[in-house]
Amino acid sequence: MGGLVLISLGLSDERDMSLRALEEARRCDLLYAELYTTLLNTDVERLSRLLGRDVTPLRRRDLEEGAERVLREAEERRVGVLVGGDCLAATTHISLLLEAKRRGIETRVIHGSSILTAVAETGLSLYRFGKTVTVPLPQRGIPPLTPYRVLGENLERGLHTLLLLDLDVEGGRHLTVNEAMRLLLGVEEEECKGVFTEETLAVGAARLGSESATIKGGRVRRLLDMDFGPPPHVLIVPGRLHFLEEEALKFFAGCREEDLRGRERYLEDLEARTEKYIRSCEKVFGELRISSLPRSIDEEGVREILGYAEMYLRDAKYYLEEGRKASALSSVSYCEGILDTLRMLRFVEFDW
């Protein structure tokens, strides 16, 4: 009887397997191990010894090129694929399961511990995390714009961000907390949005779940030269903090009182500036007069453009209510830009 079982190995080494994972692995006729998407402190020899049968390593291209061999074998025999962390967390093997289902192969998933929940060891509440993102290994000087943008969006909503740090297990390369921070500071230099600066509060964590786990938090300036030891590493940027999270960050991550104070400035500045611009645009709409226009200019056309400016103002108020402060600021800036242009063209009269 065939079947495909995805079996989670857990976070650190083979001792993180659950009893269910051990049982399932021992019931399989064939066992593979996918050990390239995360870095575990184990190898196929140790896994083979523990499970009492041969474990064959799967390379990235074995799975990425359709996993034909694994699926064909699973039609006849029970095949287990061992995966680091939780087999469906942060790394997606869903296409393998889907293809097996399409072929009528029975599938089963055995869950395990994962970096996605282990970050709670920092003291930050899992419910207050936004989108997770990976900082890629540097490629030909391409800056990590996506992680910077995701971080900005999460911060805008007051949410924490988990930044996974890229690994090339087969090539023996990995990104450290320090390198990831430098890459993000590089993007900040270009983008200048205040999303990730030397003043940002961050937490670096390494080897969570192992005896040598490390968690260190503080302002980026202080973390830049700290040593986090061997991989795997993650970087976390806290959003708005509950007082219990602040307390926990002091105990679990070594954050100092001064690291936690005054850090809301980015969000508060954004909110205060947006509110101020919205107020002044509203005042302008209350007082504005359309000038006496030369014949060549159509008053209807001017009113239509004013209508666009009003729409941007409405969007800004909506975004602000939703807590999307950067979007609110850009919308109100469009509104201001349109009003200013009409004034410079002498189509309308008002004072800011």
Q: Which residues lie near ligand SAM (CB under 6 A)? A: 11-12, 37-38, 84-86, 89-91, 114-116, 164-165, 167, 205-209, 232-234
351: left (phi over 0), alpha (psi -120 to 50) or beta: beta
State the minimum distance, in angstroms, from the CB of residue 45 to ligand SAM: 21
Distance CA 170, CA 181 (A): 24
Q: Which is nearer to ligand SAM, 122 or 327 (CB)?
A: 122
State the minimum distance, in angstroms, from the CB of residue 93 to ligand SAM: 9
Distance CA 146, CA 164 (A): 13
State the minimum distance, in angstroms, from the CB of residue 82 to ligand SAM: 12
Q: Which two tokens stand for residue 150?
A: 């995701």
Pairing mode, if any, of strands 348-349 and 107-110?
Answer: unpaired
Q: Which two tokens stand for residue 205?
A: 């964590």
Q: Which is nearer to ligand SAM, 117 or 197 (CB)?
A: 117
Q: Which is nearer to ligand SAM, 167 or 348 (CB)?
A: 167
Q: Which is nearer to ligand SAM, 2 or 217 (CB)?
A: 217
Note whether 249 and 260 are within 8 A (CB): yes
Distance CA 304, CA 300 (A): 6
Pairing mode, if any, of strands 133-135 and 348-349?
Answer: unpaired
State the minimum distance, in angstroms, from the CB of residue 34 to ligand SAM: 10
Q: Which is nearer to ligand SAM, 187 or 234 (CB)?
A: 234
State the minimum distance, in angstroms, from the CB of residue 148 to ligand SAM: 17
Distance CA 286, CA 284 (A): 5
Q: Which two tokens stand for residue 1?
A: 């009887």
State the minimum distance, in angstroms, from the CB of residue 213 to ligand SAM: 7
Q: Which two tokens stand for residue 182?
A: 């430098």
State the minimum distance, in angstroms, from the CB of residue 233 to ligand SAM: 6
Q: Which is nearer to ligand SAM, 234 or 348 (CB)?
A: 234
Pairing mode, if any, of strands 161-165 and 30-34?
Answer: unpaired
Note whether 114 and 90 are within 8 A (CB): yes
State the minimum distance, in angstroms, from the CB of residue 35 to ligand SAM: 11
Residue closest to ligand SAM, measured at CB: 85
Q: Which is nearer to ligand SAM, 121 or 247 (CB)?
A: 121
Angle, helices 325-344/299-322, rounded to nearest 10 degrees? 160
Helices (H) and strands (E) in the chain, counts: 14, 14
Asked if the bond preceding 232 is cis, omega within 30° of 0, the reply is: yes
Q: Which is nearer to ligand SAM, 12 or 274 (CB)?
A: 12
